[in-house]
Structure 1
Amino acid sequence: MSYPADQTANPAPLGLLGFGMTTVLLNLHNTGLYELNSMILAMGFCYGGLAQVFAGLMEWKKGNTFGTVAFTSYGLFWLALVMLLVLPKLGLAQAVSPTGMVAFFVMWGLLTAGLFVGTLTMNLATQVVFGSLVILFGLLAVGDALGDPMITRIAGWEGIFCGLSAIYAALAQVLNEIYRRPVLPLGEKTVA
């Protein structure tokens, strides 16, 4: 019995764009450019959160465990972060302490470090996204632990780089597929 070839689209660009664009916008706030506002919360809920969860479910359908875990996890990260900010405003929960945020960022940093190890067999663009995200979570944890706004600003600039690297990886995949040739290089591994 033969099975039809997988004709479904690559969900990774959707997940990467949801992650990348939301990360850039939040980290523009972390640099001090503008206040935490409804634009960031809406983007975190809709594109960073829901779109990545959808991308993760589509990766599951394709049999990609890494993509399933990464996109679903980071989609739920964004939804959790929005809830951490909104629930106290609604009077439904106490605001998280800086120590609590340190724990939150450390746990996400540990997950990301584990996933980064998995990227070492993948293209360079994916390695840059996950490597810079490990650094971002570390800087955010240290900034909250020390209560140092300068470290948070540095994290903001590093987060902008991380987000832009995800946007690049997403657009490279889309354009390379459309043109059926490497328009934007991903740094693919060569088989010896």
Structure 2
Amino acid sequence: MADKVCEVKEAIADPGPLGLACFALTTFCLSLVNAGLVVKEAVAVVIALALAYGGTVQILAGMWEFKKNNVFGATAFSSYGAFWVAFGLFELFGTLQIYTIPKQGVLLFLVGWTIFTFYMWIGSFATNRILVIIFTLLIITFILLDIGAAGIHVAHTWGGYMGIVTALAAWYASAAGILNTLFGRVVLPVGHRK
């Protein structure tokens, strides 16, 4: 009798709410600093979040999105997780006075992420309305931060405020993914595409 190979399809939970929560909390904390609503020294909290939750855990959520065959979620979470790790490292280097990123380097970093966010924003149109809102807010946030890094400080501050709104939208999407799944019905609508 020939051995039969059984293919077992593993079901995994949706990693989206986790990735969105990681993104939301880290973005919220940094944006409070950028908006000037908390002291600059609070960036130490952002560094820790960027390296652990916003960075490492969000990258893991991205890897699980690959497992679920979700190229958009995998690319978004893995990439923005890497954004947070990179951000955490260069803030840590600056805090420890190992190396300070020059203003042009910060601008280069932000513009690169703006380009990435732009085509992810376009891709979000094929997902659901809440992701379109999140990516619209995020592209506006990055553009304002770009302008701020180019020397117009008020744009940096407004980028902080837009980042706070972006984080709140991401938390909403995360909560929707959790509550809608747990209750088996739409508790928080996300505007699914038909």
TM-score band w.r.t. shorter chain: over 0.9
Query: Measured at CA, do residues 116 and 150 of structure 1 come closer, stay the same or move farther in structure 2, by a change above 3 Å?
Result: same
Deviations 1:112-166 (A, max 9, x none): 1111111111100011111111111110010110x23221111111100111111
Query: Measured at CA, do residues 155 and 54 of structure 1 come closer, stay the same or move farther in structure 2, by a change above 3 Å?
Result: same
Residue number in structure 2 paired with 1:32: 36
Taking the TM superposition and a 5 Å limit, the aligned residue runs for 1:16-27 are 16-27=20-31
Deviations 1:42-92 (A, max 9, x none): 111111111101101111111211111110110010010011111133343
The answer as to 2:164 corresponding to 1:160 is yes
Taking the TM superposition and a 5 Å limit, the aligned residue runs for 1:1-192 are 3-36=7-40, 37=42, 38-93=44-99, 95-145=100-150, 147-190=151-194
Q: More displaced, 26-35 or 161-170? A: 26-35
Q: Distance in 2 between the 1:3 and 1:63 partners?
A: 17
Per-residue deviation, 1:35? 2.2
TM value normalised by structure 2? 0.91
Q: Compare CA radii of gyration and give the structure with the larger one.
A: 2
Amino acid paired to 2:61: A
Runs of 4+ displaced beyond 6 Å: none
SS in 2 for 1:125: helix
SS in 2 for 1:87: helix
Q: % of aligned pairs identical?
A: 36
Q: Distance in 2 between the 1:41 and 1:15 partners?
A: 18
Q: Distance in 1 between the 2:63 and 2:9 partners?
A: 19
TM value normalised by structure 1? 0.92
Amino acid paired to 2:76: A
Unaligned runs of 5+ in 2: none
RMSD: 1.5
Per-residue deviation, 1:2? 7.5
Q: Distance in 1 between the 2:9 and 2:178 partners?
A: 20
Q: Distance in 2 between the 1:121 and 1:172 partners?
A: 18
Q: Distance in 2 between the 1:91 and 1:40 partners?
A: 17
